[in-house]
Structure 1
Amino acid sequence: MGKRRSSASGTTPSWRSRSDKVNRRMNSTDTLPRVGVLANEDSWYFQDLERAAQGLADVQRIEFTSLQSRIGGPETISAESLISGQYDAIVVRSMPPGSLEQVVFRMDALAGLERQGVLVVNPPKSMELAIDKYLSLSKLAEAGFRVPETHVCQTWQDAVTALEQLGPSVVVKPIFGGEGRGIMRVDDPDLGHRVFKTLEQMGQIIYMQRFIPHPGYDLRVMVLGDQMWGMRRSSADNWRTNLSRGATAAPESIPGEVAEVAQAVMKTLDLSIAGLDFLPDGEGGWYLLEVNAVPGWKGLSAACEVDIAAKLIDYVRERIACRKPH
């Protein structure tokens, strides 16, 4: 890949040039599609989408916690203002924590919008699969994808037994979560005993995977429709390669077999956009670690010199256009 062209401070990078945006503009007489983005108030990703959408789409931020539904007659779904019949698409950019009831209602509300003809990216049923590590991994393993050996249980006694079978080293993860939060490596039985007891006392499910020897990097593959980009995430002193934890990023070519697996996973989980994490096995093969249905792209955009926000806006506009009668 070519080197990034240098630019004066404050100027727009080459991959976000105004000329590219002009080439993508709609005629001034066209009505801009209205796109809601479920995002936090200070979300960099919403700001990036808002920038990329200038002249192309009317992008508005929506709070997940503001979702409401009125039933008794045609269902209307709102979030401070009406969404039903007003928005062409909803992009899910955040997944805030909440109780089981809150999470279920949010997914149900998105499913309601989908039934009303609103494009939801990603589809709520697909997100339900992807955000639940156990559910998605079991579905992927059943479909024949190579995933780390994993054990999920509810008691510390069962977890200790599983550690003896999967060990000597395992990675313990929360079923819900991302960016490396709540993940720890356990390679000592006494530590495992304490960790598993604590998780059970907190009412948590114990989700553990056999530790795969870390080569110092993994491969993040971002897939959007039929497009994909590869990024190597490297960490010299930490087995976790999350950029939020100090790992470095560089563009990486995607091996053919990994690209095939990535597209097959997208179809299996019915996803429009996702980040897939692959780990080399040291023998020329790859493990699929997990699938993120609400992937970040800040590091990948910079590493690969690609405007993911603009690509996503284009993708959403094309999907909206295909739905509308001509």
Structure 2
Amino acid sequence: MIDIFSPIALRVAATLRLADHVAAGADTLDELAKAAKVDADALRRLLRFLTCRGVFAEPSPGRYTLTGSAALLAADHPSRLREFLDLDTAGGRMDLAVCGGLLHTVRTGEAGYEAVFGQSFWDDLDTRPDLAGSFTALMTAVSRRLGPEVAAGYDWRDARHVVDVGGGAGFLLSAVLQRCPQARGTLVDLPATVARAQSTLDAAGVADRCAVQGGSFFDPLPEGGDVYVLSHVLHDWDDGPALSILRNCAAAAAATGGRVLVAERVIADDEHRALATEYDLRMAAIFGGARERSYDEFVTLAAAAGLAPGGVWHTSSQHWLMEWLPTT
């Protein structure tokens, strides 16, 4: 548990695209250093560390090959792990914020990200288009995986209008509409975000059944839906803002007798508790008040928003699907 070098060394290798360079034929130390634009001696020491741990192999002095572990770091690997580990991207900066800012967070309750980088995560994205683009790619990868699980894990048979609130580029909503040919959808997110949704909806063959609306989930939401979906939204916010989001969903759902479906990790006494608590600390260090919650905490938050518990379902990726019904 005290090893800090393996996680950071892997991220440095991912950032420098070492696996891609080796796969492309730059397999000697000098060739790798030139391709990665780094100091050869420092790279030698990094590779020595990684080969000792089976990440790369060194079949002859100064010549490197990929192992199964190194192949995971290639840009074309289906896991897209490299994108999550790249320290020059939003995901990588979040990791650095956790490493360098968690102590500040525990001491003050404030976001460690701002202590490390001088401004909040969201301000960082606003001033760095490259980071904003990498964050969108990161969330797209998450939505691509989670969308089919949400679509398969919930009973959509009576759904006629699904509103995905904070739905990004539309991958989750597309998966739901593909599964529910009787339903239409509305995608709600910030204008710059939903501007990228059309190609997603077209590729899924659901564009003719889906409206796209630019807006904030802190503002009143479009009425007329019978299912309002919040996926990976509430954990970004402390209880005050999260309550505002839920109240907007509850108000829109109550107008037509609809319901709210929340997809989140949940801190529970099960085999996934360790991972959920890890994500909870990450959220605290990056965003300050952001948090993963227990189911009881969701119940309390939902009750304050005018929502009562409905059903609960579990996905294969350790997310809970929690249904909430308006009480008024």
TM-score (norm 1): 0.28
TM-score (norm 2): 0.28
Q: Which structure exhibits the higher relative contact order, with contacts defined as CA atoms closer than 8 Å and separated by 6 or more residues?
A: 1
